[in-house]
Amino acid sequence: MVAMPLLRCREFSTTPLRAVPPPHNRRMNHSMEDNGLGRFLTIADTAELLAVSAAEVHQLVTSGELPAIRIGTKGQWRVERAVLEGYIEGQYEQARRLSLWNQADFTGVLDFDSAPSRATD
């Protein structure tokens, strides 16, 4: 068996050659799960993470509800992972507030439908 030679530094370069190039799409927040995805997600990746269709994600992006950027000459949409996490947290907060609103005690509030009406002359 012939041993493979190690990659050597270039003769006049101060940086060594690497067997595997460094990832160009690194995540900034190391606490988020990687799942093999980089900092920016495609519409399809975002749809998969949210368990919805790509068309639904595209509608959220084009309406401005989910912030995204356009990349390249074809203008493909990309959603940043941190922005997606913030969007999800915002949806949880909205659901929590709606739940609290629905559970609020309105027994002391005057019901205008059952209030005696005043006749106008």
**Between 1.10.10, 2.60.40, 1.10.1660, 3.40.1350, what CATH number should domain 40-102 receive?**
1.10.1660
Tell me, what's the pLDDT at 101? 85
Judge whether 14 and 3 are in contact, CB under 8 Å: no
The pLDDT tens digits along the chain (121 residues) read 555 555 444 455 455 555 554 555 444 444 445 567 789 999 999 999 999 999 999 999 999 999 999 999 999 999 999 999 999 999 999 999 998 888 877 656 666 666 566 666 5
Tell me, what's the pLDDT at 121? 57
Question: Domain spans of the chain?
Answer: 40-102
Tell me, what's the pLDDT at 31? 46
Number of Cβ within a 10 Å radius of residue 43: 21
Tell me, what's the pLDDT at 113? 67
Verdict on whether the full-model pTM lies above 0.75: no
